Structure 1
Amino acid sequence: MLFHPGWPGYIRGVTAVGDGDFIVAGDTHVSRYRPSTAESEMLFDGLSQAYGVAVSGNGTVAVADLGTGKVHSVRSGQSEVLASGLQDPTGVAFTAGGTLLVSEAGAGRVVSVTSGGVDTLVDGLERPQGILVRDGKLYIVDAGSKQLISVDLDTKAQQIIARHLPVGAPEGVTPKPLKGIIPFAGPQGPFAGIAAGPDGTLYISADAEGSVLALREGK
């Protein structure tokens, strides 16, 4: 769909916002994309390597910029830096209360963004990428350990939901991102994202095999 009318460009992060619309992030931009009408609206351009994107209950768009180690909020064509100095930020998610969480793949942790900086929420991970908050739990795709981990946001209790996931690079292999084709697509690094359906099914982008996995807890 590279040359399809209304195509917003290379996409890495995506989240649905209802009525057939998606907020998408990729390379330097964040856009609103409506495939049914082949329309896209640029919300912000000027990032380095945009990865995960999330939308809060009040409509604030947050995007992780791995290239600069920053997380931005985007609204009405303007960008505000919410956190900086992060090590390979990739995934972003909002809690029910509006707190922004970020996975730092390079630091092996998930942090919460505060007015004074960031606080560590979960550490000891290998290479966390996609994250999701649902029903009081934080779900983390750890591409390093190839596990899906859940964290109770109240008790901080952790549970391994799935092991041996086809995500990330094989053991002992250091991935080398493709340089891409400017201006169509910039550096193309790996990213194992996660999303949830209305029935609670978890969907994981298994980048190691090019599939999408559906996981249902207790089934």
Structure 2
Amino acid sequence: MRIAFLFVGVVLSTASFATSITISNHSFEAQTLGSGSFFYSPTQITDWSSTATGGADRGVWNTGAPGKDGNNIAFAYANNAFAQQLTATVQADTVYTFQYLMGRSGGATRGTAELWAGGTLLNGVVTGGTLLAGQTLQINQSSMSELSLTYTSPTSGAVVGQLLTIRFAGSTIPGENYVSFDNARLSAEAVPEPATLTVLALGALAAARRRRK
């Protein structure tokens, strides 16, 4: 029995673990703001590329919104957006998990989060890149809610080796209100090889049989 459990432990020690990918100003704290004050467009948000149409349609807000991370949250109205191209590239056979907080400051509204590979980032828009994963969700409560999306990269292909970009955008539905984002996080975890999964399964089976005996 000891041998079986030792075998499973050794195999598990070779399994991959998720690693965090650096996002600069991930919680929008770079702007030092007094309680309740705003940082408006058209000035760019620190470390983020953003659109700035129609006046104060995106920026940073020091707010008491429940569930936020730190002092500030970022906000966008209509089709305004902000994005950041990272130094990390798409690795083969890897699961990427993009986590973030989203809320609203008016009535029910929608917000979009996206993960891109390659392309050129300018004014919050990715040109010539590949959208790897994205989701648009409606949010009804004013508190910041934890959300996430995932993408699993292929063994090979055009996206492998391309720079990763994360992007947030406001609602495109007329009449909907401001949407807020905070605490952007991205992690990567290598997909276990089939042979490793087989060994893990066999080891667990052997341990279970010995335990029954």
Question: For the superposition of Structure 1 and Structure 2, which TM-score range results when normalised by the shorter chain?
Answer: under 0.3
**Greater gyration radius:** 2
Higher relative contact order (CA closer than 8 Å, sequence separation 6+): 2
TM-score (norm 1): 0.27
Structure with the higher fraction of residues in strand conformation: 1
TM-score (norm 2): 0.27
